[in-house]
Amino acid sequence: MKEKGVGFDSFAIGIESIIILLLCISFLFIQIKGSNNLFIYSTFNFWVVITFLIYFAGTFFVYLLTSSMSESVAFQREYFIINISFNILKDILLCVAMTMKSNDVVNEQKSGIPDLDEDLFISKKIN
């Protein structure tokens, strides 16, 4: 008999995955409905959301079956491979998201209005 608080709680993780998947889908739905003229894949948020979507969709069944099939050797191998694969995919997608974020920062810096009061400041300093 398992002790309370020890082991893998598939039910809780299943619920968590479903909630996160629903949130991701609702985000995408809002993006579809909004009339933003910016391409969705050029935003940081989109990449973060699809990272969550793909990771939780991919690992959904693994986590769901873990508590009942953790004793099976075959399952353990499959669990290892699926988990590793989706972790790598998740990291790659998050890297892409971070690249998008740094691009945004560069663009913001480029499009900023130069300080037009600079001369005034200099003249004040000289005086």
Q: Which residues bind other proteins (CB under 8 A)?
A: 25, 28, 31-32, 35, 37, 39-41, 50, 53-54, 57-62, 65, 74-75, 77-78, 81-82
Alpha-carbon distance of 54 to 76, in angstroms, equals 21
Alpha-carbon distance of 14 to 39, in angstroms, equals 32
CB of 73 or CB of 126, closer to other proteins: 73
CB of 30 or CB of 116, closer to other proteins: 30
CB of 64 or CB of 101, closer to other proteins: 64
Q: How far is the CB of 1 from other proteins (least distance, A)?
A: 26
- Residue 113 has φ and ψ, to the nearest 5°, of -80, 135
Q: How far is the CB of 5 from other proteins (least distance, A)?
A: 26
Return the percent helix, strand and coil in the chain, to nearest 5.
Answer: 80, 0, 20
